[in-house]
Amino acid sequence: MSLSPKLEEIVSSIEKSFEIKDDFLVKATEYFIESMNVGLESPKPSKDVMPMIPTYVTSIPTGKEVGLYLAADLGGTNFRVCSIDLKGDHTFSMKQSKYRIPVDLMKAEKSNDLFGFLAKKVQSFLLENHSEACTAKNTEPLKLGFTFSFPVNQTALNRGTLIRWTKGFDIPDTVDRDVVELLQANLTILEVNVKVVAIANDTVGTLLTAAYSNDSAKTNRNTIIGCIFGTGTNGAYFESKIPKLSSSTGDNKGMVINTEWGSFDNGLKILPSTEFDEIVDSETANPGYHLFEKRISGMFLGEILRVALIHLFKKGLIFQELYKARGGSLPHRIEEPWLLDAEVLSYLQIDDSTDLKTSGLILQNVSQIGNQQGGT
């Protein structure tokens, strides 16, 4: 596939703006560690500090734990409800259901619009799998851990107030409110015999699940970190030195820390920034925050590609004939923000054909673009 000289020049320039070199990785790693240490010392969350949020999870599972527990996971566009039966031998059985979050509830007017929906889905899951929890009022409630994958200021194992929404959610009246209380209140309204006993980030859940499942005597490996690279990105690990806690509580035993590393370098002291990154950031509900996440995670990569394609289109270098043929419009997945999925980039990355025919077919399929190239 041949490109016009002008298009090739501009594409080459765009490629260079995204290049990451080895010396940058060394500097970024050093600054990342420095930012973690600053976050461990800073008692109050702020835009310029990596949050390093204490979770009040003070131990790691051994794999010998037993019992039936519930988990509810709000991590992005889906809500998952699970029941997990721990066997005590590093194994467990699980039942689960997944529910799509309606787009209008991601930007609902009131918190209870969303949390009422979540509570009803917990009720539906229990009616199908553990109906006794919906009818037995005088028995011990089922314990539920709430995996809530958004920045919270956690003050106890079962207390956490929302700092800000991310990942396309924007419900202003939830900010600074305890999300455990919101979920529990809506479960109580439905008379569901469930008690929310813990709140955790998805990375914390990943860490604890891996630790429970890992039989280190057999694998000769220890579970060190839980991390997420998906819609967003984040990590959690066990930290023994937490100055911002030990100074006030005298607690030096340590606990799991939710890093919220998506907020690494919000001040852009070291992270590179292209014009496309800036446009994508301006389109989000939280511009200026989670800038590391917005440069590397699944929710944003497809949009960065779309913005770059629009840039080339406006320069008259691509999609010109297609635009005319459609009567002055582009396919909606190119024209409308957030409709081009990051999955496309994965397929393009692994295409090693000499003529990139596979890439052409993929773009045509996901975007309804014809065989357009160069200045056409």
Helix (H) or strand (E) holding 191: none
In whole angstroms, what is the distance from residue 142 CA to residue 144 CA?
6
Positions marked catalytic:
149, 164, 202
C-alpha of 92 from chain center:
25
Contact present, 101 and 57 (Cβ < 8 Å): no
- Record the tokens describing residue 82, joined without a space: 């699970």
CA–CA distance from 16 to each of 9, 43, 92, 110, 272 (Å)? 11, 39, 48, 44, 11
Q: Is 97 helix (H, G, I), strand (E, B) or coil?
A: strand
- Cβ neighbours of 230 (radius 10 Å): 14
Give me Rg for the CA atoms of the chain: 24
- Record the tokens describing residue 348, joined without a space: 């393009």
- Report the number of secondary-structure helices (H) and strands (E) in the chain: 16, 11
List all residues 6 or more positions away from 255 whose beta carbon is below 8 Å from its beta carbon. 54, 55, 56, 57, 58, 238, 239, 242, 245
In whole angstroms, what is the distance from residue 35 CA to residue 372 CA?
45
DSSP E strand boundaries for the chain: 53-54, 66-74, 78-87, 92-100, 142-148, 152-156, 159-162, 194-200, 225-229, 233-239, 255-258
